[in-house]
Amino acid sequence: MNEAIRPSPESPPQAAVTPELSVIVPTFNERDNVTTLFRRLEATLAGVAWEVIFVDDNSPDGTWDVVRALARQDSRVRCVRRIGRRGLSGACIEGILASSAPCAAVIDADLQHDETQLPRMLALLEAGEADLVIGSRYVEGGSADSFNKQRADASALATELAQRVLRVKVADPMSGFFMIRRDRFEQLAPQLSTQGFKILLDVVATARGELRVKEIPYTFGSRLHGESKLDSMVALDFLGLVLAKLTNDTVSLRFLLFALVGSTGLFVHLAALFVALELFNVPFPHAQASGAFLAMTSNFILNNFLTYRDQRLKGVAILRGLLLFYLVCSVGLVANVGVAFSVYDQEPIWWLAGAAGALMGVVWNYAMSGLFVWRKR
Ligand code: GDD
Ligand code: MN
């Protein structure tokens, strides 16, 4: 393709006004939806100086390519293409921080949110009546009829939990549709979690009542094209966020999952030992070694699927990761035994020494796995 780098002289002149509103659209495999959304924004935001920033996580369907084409025709459209990263919350944060408009809205690409509410949300922010306006399914006049029963129950449960545990006084903290003053957002941004998908809940919980919030009703519609990216694993993300906010970010769900997986490894080890000794009459040292290998292997597989599912290793990277994991765990074992010995030396209490060693082992394995096995690219 031979594209002109300079716009041709007959291309329409574009106003050089700074936008008052930036609309952030996180996308993953939404190529059939983005153009429609752009047209609808254009219709509903006539009279507003606006821009739209699509934040695409390198969608395999080439959504970013469609967005780039739109952007070449209209300078109000921008595209942030992120490579090697996945995550709805992180995408929204980056999009908002990439804008310099005083107000930023977040809206899904699949047209399930009602973009015609945007002017009203903007008016509320600009009148100084709120710092944050939420498109809410759970206030009078709003609804989520397109949800199936299971999804509706899950949503209600998560909402209830968030309200009680995090003392969030918002009817729909799980909404993915909101508008916020960018200066307020920038204050909170360093404390927000980039993992998971509950960006609004994170914002509200992190602000601890310091934000003036308004909710306006809207009807959550059906998806136009494509499919939802939220799988059953989002429940884990949600719990992780609640845990992190409750403990001021000291306990991470990743560490808890890693430790949990580690404890399943103990069972694998003992089971393998039993089978090898009792059923196959393998000599003890061999049985013990194969038990350890099996446990490390199953730990690796579980961690790859659960603990690090957002950075899951695939293809040949699995083999490399597994070998590194063996290495990390072997050193962890030496550290474990070393610590247990020295504690036992000072204070011959077997369970205290054992627990100290095990803790040392899991902390080491966790820290080193994060550095070498599932390192961020
Ligand atoms: N950049 C990026 N990266 N975008 C993503 C990712 C990701 O990893 N995952 C999802 N998205 C985009 C989708 O392309 C879509 O535009 C939007 O985020 C919402 O994702 P859906 O997959 O359509 O989610 P949903 O419809 O099931 O969930 C919606 O409703 C929930 C309320 O029940 C979302 O609005 C949630 O934020 C909301 O909590
Ligand atoms: Mn959706």
Which pLDDT tens digit goes with each residue over 312-332?
Answer: 899 999 999 999 999 999 999
- Report the nearest atom of ligand 1 relative to the CA of 199: 37
Q: Which residue has the higher pLDDT, 8 or 88?
A: 88
Q: Does residue 220 line the site of ligand 1, with CB under 6 A?
A: no
- Say yes or no: CB of residue 154 within 6 Å of ligand 1: no
147 pLDDT exceeds 80? no
> Which residue's alpha carbon is at the smallest distance from atom 14 of ligand 1?
27
Q: Quote the ligand 2 centre to 296 CA distance (angstroms).
A: 38
Q: Confirm or reject: Cβ of 54 under 6 Å from ligand 1.
A: no
SS3 for the chain is: CCCCCCCCCCCCCCCCCCCCEEEEEEECCCCCCHHHHHHHHHHHCCCCCEEEEEEECCCCCCHHHHHHHHHHHCCCEEEEECCCCCCHHHHHHHHHHCCCCCEEEECCCCCCCCHHHHHHHHHHHHCCCCCEEEEECCCCCCECCCCCHHHHHHHHHHHHHHHHHCCCCCCCCCCCCEEEEHHHHHHHHHHCCCCCCCHHHHHHHHHCCCCCEEEEECECCCCCCCCCCCCCCHHHHHHHHHHHHHCCCCCCHHHHHHHHHHHHHHHHHHHHHHHHHHHCCCCHHHHHHHHHHHHHHHHHHHHHHHHCHHHCCCCHHHHHHHHHHHHHHHHHHHHHHHHHHHHHHHCCCHHHHHHHHHHHHHHHHHHHHHHHHCCCC
**Residue appearing with tokens 């035994």:** 337
Ligand at shortest distance from the CA of 151? 1
In angstroms, what is the span from residue 54 Cα to ligand 1's centroid?
13
Q: What is the CA radius of gyration of the chain?
A: 25
pLDDT confidence band for 124 (50 / 70 / 90): very high
**pTM higher than the cut 0.85:** no
Max mean pLDDT among 40-49, 149-158, 220-229, 284-293 falls in: 40-49
State the ligand closest to the CA atom of 28: 1
Q: What count of other Cβ atoms lies within 10 Å of the Cβ of residue 139? A: 16
User: Which of 178, 230, 233 has the most ligand 1 atoms within 8 A of CB, as the residue to mutate?
Assistant: 230
Contact 87 CB / ligand 1 (< 6 Å) = yes
Higher-confidence residue of 200 and 143: namely 200
- Which residue type, as a one-letter code, is found at position 43? A
Place of tokens 């100086």: 49
Atom of ligand 1 nearest to the CA of 63: 14
Confidence tier at 11 by pLDDT (50, 70, 90): low
Mutational pocket test of ligand 1: of 32, 37, 80, 88, the residue with most ligand atoms within 8 Å of the beta carbon: 88
The tens digit of pLDDT for each residue in 100-112 reads 999 999 999 999 9
Query: Mean pLDDT throughout 147-153?
Result: 81
Range in 24-28, 35-39, 85-89, 248-252 with the lowest mean pLDDT? 248-252
The tokens describing 375, both together, are 């390192």
Q: Is residue 112 in contact with ligand 1, taking CB distance under 6 Å?
A: yes
Question: How far does residue 181's CA lie from ligand 2's centre (Å)?
Answer: 24
- Which pLDDT band, with edges at 50, 70 and 90, does 151 fall under? confident
Instruction: Give the span between the Cα atoms of 83 and 41, in whole angstroms.
Output: 27
Q: Ligand 2 centroid vs 281 CA: distance in angstroms?
A: 56
Q: Is 85 a residue whose pLDDT tops 50?
A: yes
The ligand 1 atom nearest the CA atom of 110: 16
Residue 154: what pLDDT?
Answer: 84
Could you give the CA distance from residue 2 to residue 287 in angstroms, rounded to a whole number? 66
| pLDDT tops 60 at residue 13 | no
Mutation probe of ligand 1 site: the residue of 29, 110, 229, 233 with most atoms within 8 A of C-beta? 229
Task: Tell whether the model's pLDDT for residue 33 goes beyond 90.
Answer: yes
- Hey, which of 280-284, 297-301, 340-344 has the most confident mean pLDDT? 297-301
What is the rounded average pLDDT of the residues 125-144?
93
Amino acid at 74: D
Beta-carbon count within 10 A of 116 CB:
12
Q: Find all residues with CB under 8 Å of 12, minimum gap 6, and list them.
A: none
Q: What percent of the chain has pLDDT over 70?
A: 95
How would residue 16 be classed by pLDDT, with cut points 50, 70 and 90?
A: low
**Which is more confidently placed, 124 or 311?**
124
Q: What is the pLDDT of residue 1?
A: 46
Residue 145: pLDDT above 80? no
Nearest ligand 1 atom, CA 174: 39
The type of residue at 164 is R
Distance 224 CA to ligand 2 centre (A): 9
Residue owning the nearest CA to atom 37 of ligand 1: 176
pLDDT in tens, 182-221: 999 999 999 998 877 889 999 999 998 899 999 999 999 8
